[in-house]
Structure 1
Amino acid sequence: MNLSLLFEIMLIGLLGIGSQWVAWRYRMPAIVVMSVTGLIIGPIFGWINPQEDFGDLYNPIISVAVAIILFEGSLNLRFKELSDLGKPVFRISTIGAFIAWILGSLTAHYIAGLSWAVAFVIGGLFIVTGPTVIMPLLRQSKLKPRPAKILKWEGIIVDPIGALLAVFAFEIIAFLTSDNPSGEKLLIFFAASVFAAIFGWACGKGIGYVFERGYIPEFLKSPAVFIVVILCFTIPDEIVHETGLLSVTAMGLTLANMGISSVIEMRHFKENMSILLISAIFIMLTASLQMETLLQIFSPNIIGYVLLMMFAVRPLSIFLSTIGTNLTLNEKLLVGWIAPRGIVALTVSSYFAGILLEAGYEDATLLTTLTFGLVFFTVLAHGFTIGPLAKKLHLSMEGRPGTLIVGSNRFTVEFAKTLMKAETPVIIVDSSWRKLRLAREAGIPFYHGEMLSEQTEYHLDTMPYDYLIAASDDPFYNSLICTTFMPEYGRTNVFKLSPYDQMNINSTGEIVPKVAGRVLFKEEVTMTGLNDMLRRGFVFRHTAITEQFRFKHYVKEKDNDTIFLYLIKPSGQIKYFTEDLKVAPEVGDIIVSITPPTKEQAKIQAKIEQTKNGKK
């Protein structure tokens, strides 16, 4: 099919984001959907072949995209996260990587039938996992913080190490097989690696310095960082291939740990860019494969190699390297299983396939097949099993979507009780120990700290909570909370109580209601009003919607002062009633409301009368 290059770019972007949406909608691993989509439009139906169609631009596009993705991932690596995980992360990234290299090389030689030279190159390359495959899996699986942090740190740190190990192995092979062996190339390689790390650190420090001094305006900060990332990757990579990955990782780590607010603010933008690039690159790489490569994957030696890498090499490297650490057996089992390979393995292996073939190693023709076989099978296996395995090992936060409430007062405590009654995770956060007294006495889970503080980010586990409600006494603070956490929770999952004060409606009416967060319940329902209702004896009610008692009947019978708070679906999902997000209760739903005491008293009286009549 002859498509214009412009149409092909549009198609790749559309299918990439479409695959992400399908994966989100049907709770499937995104990398699996993207890989299958690429295979369908590429080798299976032959609609596009990006490698041929893009020509000389193909490799630079992939390389720059990988650099940006790796930088974005390393921008999330802050050393404070390693307060109790430094030792296992260091062991896995060094000793574990070395063990995986040796065992993987032996497996490639004896099982896949590769020569020693090619086996050691591919063995070094296959220790990588990387943010392109790990981040989508972590986003999907909702792991507990410890195993999630280990997999994230390993994926980002080992990514450049694996590429450099492959280069190192090739340089050693070239040195040993040369007619006139010289250590010059090896020295250049080591010098280039050190230069790449220092250059990345300098780029990070430099961009941080100009940000802190205000030498770059806000609207230019994101473009400036992207250009510096490309600069940071390109210069070392031009000296020695793949050292650019080390450089951008060093740059990201440096910036992440400088504590610059501007960098933290642009992180969500970079995450969005990373998702777009990952989607496009997976489609491009899989669509560029040949049908012969796909068929060759199912040969016995390739399948045997892949199985040993998954079930022997990876678990052994993790268990041996983490001896003496504080990792539990379940954590070792999970980390020892999850190691999907991704973009870096595919791109770097194609580079080495050409280099090794030129050097006379004919078995290097198997590299692309072997790489894609490992990538595809690990993506499938780990993508579909990480969730169930994490649940089985009790390392998953999967469960009913919880609610995080900012602000402790009488209403939020009583409101949290209704959520606990519905077996829904809930926590109240407040910086005032005095205000938290109500939560403590009621047995509500709480966190004492400032929600906007950096320390809270490290000490408060927000994974179980899909919704955030800002319900402090200060409407301006509530809006600030919503604005800050909207990118993390999503626009439809961040709420605030109405800022309108019935006694002074004009004071905040023009500003606060327009800033972030959906207004819960109704605009006229304020914090003052809700606390006043509780003082007047209003009660919380759980009302089931049935075939006999549908929502329209409930609306007809309810008291005019009744306020609908939220409904609980049979699946456990919560839907909050808001002014601008209409909720349509269905049969099987439970509506939680706050009602006048007269309604409850009438209900109790009716039960008493019914009991008396029954006795008569």
Structure 2
Amino acid sequence: MTGEDILLGIALTVALAAGSQILASRLHVPALIILLPVGFTAGALTDVIHPERLVGPDFPALVSLSVAIILYDAGLGLNLRNLTGRTRSIVVRLLVIGIVVTFFAVSGMGPALFGIPLRVAAMIGVILVVSGPTVVGPLLEYVRPTDRLRRILIWEGTLTDPIGGILGAVVFHAVATSHRIDIGRGYQIGQFLISMGVGLAGGAVGTAILWLTLHKLRLGETLGTLVQLATVILVSAGCDIARDDTGLIAAIFTGLAITNLPGMDMPARRPFLETLVQMIIGLLFISISSAVTPASVVPVLVPSLILIAVLVLVVRPLVAYAAARGSDLTRGEWGFIGWMAPRGIVAASTASAFAASLVEDGLPGAAKILPITFLVIVGTVLLYALTAAPVARKLGVVRSARTRPLVVGGTTWVIALGEALRTAGLDVLMWAGLRRNAKRSARQASNSPTARCSRPPPTPEPAWRA
């Protein structure tokens, strides 16, 4: 490609990513519903935004670093105080049962549905075990389910992504280096544990760096945001160099650790970080979907629709029922959990990276990995976006909009009142007045085991939730 073509491709990709998200916000639908068809159409009509031509063989590395930033941002929103007791047990069971059942269901159906070898079916199965906060989060904001349901689904989606990425790397190496997969061998388990160890070690390094720079040096909001981005990129890249796809574990562990360390006075989440994450999501989905051609989609369209139906109507309800057994979840709560499993950015990115390598190796059927994943993402996001709200209302799990009292003030007794109301099950909005009072009150509330604070917006009189 010429320099002019590259400039045109970059400009067009950015314009489509931003325009699609603006249109989605106006239509009040998840951005993926717009991003994926737009990228697919643009890829069919022009060659300038195709990632392999625009970026070249370095595109998978850029995708990996981009997803690491997204997962770090998601990790910042995970408060361990909200994951206790039975909630933690349900999340763990959803993760374990969901990954196992989904993997074996897709692997078992793949050869019959798509006429592909078992190795390729296993690769698709491990790709589709992930969900993702970038998809689940906007859907839950629109549906507004109860707080417990929201916490369970956000934790599941956020933690499934890095685990699925690591499992994908393990299965990929097994597929690429052997004539058959035997995931029960101790070797494969050892490879997974090594990858987890590298990722956790990288996360520990990232946490130490941010603790020193943010806690000891007391950097402001601008430099604090800059240090966070630099640390995540550095640690994720280092882990990926040491071992493929371990940067995802490092990124989410760093975000999770930093936001839960006692005494950490984190800078406010500046609009720049939010804007960067949104732009990355748009660019990735436009780029990845543009690599899917109409000729590759048509042969797998009908089998993919069957696969989507099985995943939505059989696999996910079965996983939700198994995870909810013996818990205090109501029938409506486990029913809604059984109706919320869209696929997102990690599925798309891992499919793009793994499929390209397997196609280059000449593995039969590998060319079908990306279009199948693309159709499953589009199908699940569209289905859940259109049906999640009415299903939640039918099951009686929608949070009432009138149970949110306003508590004004930032003194100790006001914080205690907000905590008491929060403990009683109310979503409390607190207003502290001056910024210095807001920051002090937010630190007090964040140290409470029952309080849940959001970062104050950049206004003279910020507000947060208790």
For Structure 1 versus Structure 2, the TM-score category normalised by the shorter chain is 0.7 to 0.9
Are 2:434 and 2:461, in contact at CA under 8 Å, matched by a contact in 1? no
Q: Which residue of 296, 308, 311 maps to 2:310?
A: 308
Which residue number in structure 1 is paired with residue 26 of structure 2? 25
TM-score by length of 1: 0.64
Alpha-carbon distance change, 13 to 319 in structure 1, aligned in 2, over 3 angstroms: same
* Alpha-carbon offset, residue 457 of structure 1: 7.4
Higher strand share: 1
CA distance in 2, matches of 1:215, 1:476: 20
How far, CA to CA, are the matches of 1:113 and 1:307 in structure 2? 18
Distance 2:59 2:174 in 1: 29
Contact 2:166 2:246 survives alignment (8 Å): yes
Counterpart contact for 1:121–1:167, Cα < 8 Å: no
| Amino acid of the structure 1 residue aligned with 2:131 | T
Counterpart of 2:342, as a letter, is P
Q: What is the deviation of 1:264?
A: 5.6
The equivalent of 1:462 in structure 2 is 427
Aligned to 1:208, which of 204, 208, 211? Answer: 211
Which residue pairs with 1:364 in the alignment? 366
Which residue type is aligned with residue 277 of structure 1? I
Relative distance call for 1:111 and 1:320 in structure 2 (3 A) is: farther
Deviation (angstroms), 1:57: 4.2
Are the structure 2 counterparts of residues 140 and 5 from structure 1 closer, same or farther at C-alpha, using a change threshold of 3 Å?
farther
Residues 69 and 131 in structure 1, CA contact (< 8 A), matched pair in contact too: no
How many residue pairs match? The answer is 448
Q: Is the 8 A contact 2:167 2:192 kept in 1?
A: no
Contact 1:171 1:185 in 2 (8 A): no
- What is the Cα deviation at residue 229 of structure 1? 0.6
Question: For 1:224, which of 224, 227, 232 is the aligned residue?
Answer: 227
Write the distance in 2 (CA, Å) between the matches of 1:29 and 1:270.
20
Residue number among 102, 105, 117 corresponding to 1:103 in the alignment: 105
Q: Give the SS at the match of 1:366.
A: helix
Q: Which residue of 1 aligns with 2:297?
A: 294
Contact 1:479–1:517 (Cα < 8 Å) also in 2: no
Distance 2:379 2:6 in 1: 31
> Counterpart in 2 of 1:59?
60
| Match runs of 1:137-152 below 5 Å | 137-152=139-154
Match status 1:248 vs 2:248: no
| 1:198–1:325 CA distance, 2 compared to 1 (3 A) | farther
Equivalent residue letter for 1:313: V
2:82 & 2:375 partners in 1: Cα distance? 34
Match of 1:239 among 238, 242, 245: 242
Q: 1:271 to 1:111 in 2, by over 3 A?
A: same
Contact 2:220 2:267 in 1 (8 A): no
1-structure distance, mates of 2:70, 2:435: 34
Percent identity, please: 26
**Aligned partners of 2:82 and 2:204: how far apart in 1?**
20
Q: Does 1:158 align with 2:160?
A: yes
Aligned with 1:197 (options 187, 197, 200): 200
TM-superposed deviation, 1:190: 3.3
* Contact 1:113 1:301 survives alignment (8 Å): no
- Does the CA-based 8 Å contact 2:36-2:286 persist in structure 1? yes
CA distance in 1, matches of 2:162, 2:380: 20
CA distance in 1, matches of 2:92, 2:186: 30
Give unmatched runs, 5+ long, in structure 2.
443-451
1:210 is displaced (CA, Å) by 3.5
Are the equivalent residues in 2 in contact too, given 1:125–1:166 (CA < 8 A)?
A: yes
Q: Distance in 2 between matches of 1:354 and 1:7?
A: 24
Paired residue for 2:416? Answer: 449
Contact 1:143 1:390 in 2 (8 A): yes
Greater helix content: 2
- Write the distance in 1 (CA, Å) between the matches of 2:27 and 2:118: 44
Deviation at 1:378, TM superposition (A): 0.8
Determine if contact 1:125/1:162 at 8 Å carries over to the other structure: yes
1:516 aligns with 2:461: yes
Contact 2:30/2:135, CA 8 A, preserved across alignment: no
Aligned-partner SS, 2:406? strand
Change beyond 3 A, Cα 1:29–1:307: same
- Per the alignment, residue 40 of structure 2 pairs with 39
Give the conservation status (yes or no) of the 8 Å contact 1:134–1:155: yes
TM-score (norm 2): 0.83
Residues 352 and 164 of structure 1: is their aligned pair in 2 closer, same or farther, counting only changes over 3 Å?
A: same
- Larger mean Cα displacement after TM superposition, 224-233 or 257-266: 257-266
Q: Which has the larger radius of gyration?
A: 1
Amino acid of the residue matched to residue 275 of structure 1? Q
